[in-house]
Structure 1
Amino acid sequence: MTNPVPMAEVWRGDFLESVHHGHAVICDDSGQIVEAWGDPEIVVLPRSSSKMIQALPLVESGAADAYRLWEEHLALACASHNAAAIHTDRVQAWLDHIGRGEDDFRCGAQEPRDIEMRDALIRAGQQPCQIHNNCSGKHTGFLTLTKHLGAGPDYVDFDHPVQQACLEAFEDVCGEPSPGHVIDGCSAPNFAVSLHGMARAMAYFASAEDRSGVRAEAAARLRKAMVAYPELVAGEGRACTELMRAMGGRVALKTGAEAFFIAIIPERKLGVALKVTDGSTRGAECAIAAILVKLGLLDPNHPATLKRMNAPIRNWRAIDTGIIRPAAGFC
């Protein structure tokens, strides 16, 4: 096994204060590794970075078309959203459309990340509900597929037809069997895979137009929905949204908990998977930005880039005290 490599460094003055180590893989459409850092075969939990794979059965089953879902719905199915009004209003409308309600969810209530929504709930004396969960779009997709299949209500159970369909799709596009699963923050199964396998899956999405079959067509639709509606995939101020906008829709990005990140690059037919081992979001955002800059897809001087790579660290008096930057020798 190859050890993780330094990916991002935090400097305070002339002192190296922190280092974020990790693993990353760039894979081509044949499934071969183009470049790797650390151990490409390390087994990882992609967490929410796998949401576009979990959404494949929604589209390829015919459920998305049967319920006349638009690109906005598909973007939400891939989302880890802020629970701003643009997210929650659409989730509620989607639930109404399929004849389901918040009580049918199995994701749990979550305080909105969106400050305006959070404060509005506080002023109204209301508690967050499951629609505010960052995964509520994915779960509405699960509910839609559940209804389409005529399956039982506990759609997050590992043996449920929805999750078995997700597992089959996951193993197919990753090109390897999953060694097991865990329960994610939203209570759905999350399947383990090698980092190489996850990058291979992202290359599948990147090259979907060159492939045949309903799965490839579904992958292309989901990827296009993500770049068409980056604000629904995450939200204002978030790396996924801002970096997709900065690249003009050329790349689909998705973060996952505990410092996972993927990139889908159709013009190069490349997939990227990245894991920072200490679980630091700032480390993962700096590292994925560095890879995208290296590939010539992201402007190093774009404001969205400079928030995450070569980003100044300021104290409470707005004095520059340090910087977070790619580690020496990485990218």
Structure 2
Amino acid sequence: MCTVCGCSDQQGATLPPPTLHFGKGAAGVSLPGLSQARTITLETNILSANNQIAGQNRAYFKSHRIRALNLLSSPGSGKTTLLCKTLEVLKKVAPALKTSVIEGDQQTSLDAERIQTTGVPVIQVNTGKGCHLDARMVAEATSRLPLHGHNPSAVIAKPHKSTISLNTLTSLQPLREHLLFIENVGNLVCPALWDLGEDAKVVILSVTEGEDKPLKYPDMFDKADLLLINKIDLLPHVDFDPKRALKWARSIHPSLDAIEISATTGEGMSDWLDWLLKKRNAAQSPRKDQTGLLDRIAMLEAELAAARATLQESA
């Protein structure tokens, strides 16, 4: 030790940088001018209204044999490129499967135009300053997609009894199965809160982003049904450890499925397609089930009633 100033050749202990954490309150977030209680009330009211519509979406999808997948990621993760590649391959391996896309972005229709080149029906949803899709947006977008041959815009507000006899149910032809991809706005924060009525959430993490994303954005990974580690063809050029990324993701969500994939080289694509088709088949119950058939009849009757009401108003 220097006898003049007290300096030392020995390096002192490294202290962690100071941290201000505004998410430790009961609401998990801090909003200027709002108490934690008021914040919780506002969030509960907003999400409750959204969840009601999400429930209607989910019932609609189920009754029409539509499996909806919510694709989530940071901007630039490669989800649009991966989606385009997926749509092209699905046409070859599952030609009977109908597909369509709801494309979410704050501005422009650039990604929807890319998807349109695959020949798959797509609708662009621009959220403006909004950072996520919500259930109402998905309901409106769904009503404008050619998911089937009749008007899809009607929503059942209340359960009602079918006027069609059970004896006629078995004569109904099943609807063609349909896979609906909902590409959410690029964001790993806000979309985690919003239920769209989807069957599964698929989170895409590219190797160019960093393996610590699950630790930084735990809510998103906690709610995911599948993690796609994308752009693995770039692994030789970036400092990214897929095993560590998956370890951290599973520290948040222990049962999380994961697939390493590259839309450029096709690596992992077969596993991704297997997951899509396996989950699709597992989600489908036999159409002879009377409850499922009654749900479908109720939905069709509601749509017919809405169509008649529209015609009467325009007459």
Give the alignment's TM-score, normalised by structure 1. Answer: 0.26
**Which structure is higher in strand share?**
1
Asked which structure has the greater RCO (Cα within 8 Å, sep 6+), the reply is 1
Give the TM-score normalised by the residue count of structure 2. 0.27
